[in-house]
Structure 1
Amino acid sequence: MDGRLTTKEIMKKDGIKNKSQIETWMRWYRTNEIHRFDQPIGKQYSYGHGTQFASEDEKKDRQNAYLKMENEILKKYLEMKEELNKN
């Protein structure tokens, strides 16, 4: 998201075969459609079967996991930024 890697570099690094998948994930992230990352591969939720119908505990667990991931990403970003500033 910060532009450090090109789409092709991300595809090679993570073994992703289709650039539209990365673009879709970025669009979901930018539009705060985080629930979409929990969808099974190749299946879109039908009405009444999406994550909005998960139990409150599941929602909290999912949100907690997301916030932990986001926190780790921010920590790595700050470490990289600090390292670049040293040079």
Structure 2
Amino acid sequence: MGTRVSYPVEVKMKAIEMRLAGIPVKEVLATLTIRNHSQLKTWMKLYREGQLHRLEQPVGKQYAFGKGPQYETETAKLQVENRYLKQQIEVLKKYAELERTWFPK
């Protein structure tokens, strides 16, 4: 399996502009040193669907815009974060307890 390449948004937009101007795919790939024509095809699809925000997402992180947990208030968000951090502390305490049994002094 090959190495993933992350292209800057400017390169992606330039490739889209070149294709819209009628420049052949091979020439766009050679000019901008893009590895695969399917990548250009994906960018064009995102452009046509109006999902330009997805061009800014890093490799492997193609998530839907505006998705994820929504909180009604800032307080609710902080309560969830507080609960998560307390759980992390509890896990670390349990690990420290187990570690004492593994390596007695």
Length-normalised TM-score, structure 1: 0.48
Q: Under a length normalisation based on structure 2, what TM-score does the superposition of the two structures give?
A: 0.41
Relative contact order: is structure 1 or structure 2 higher (C-alpha 8 Å, sep ≥ 6)? 2
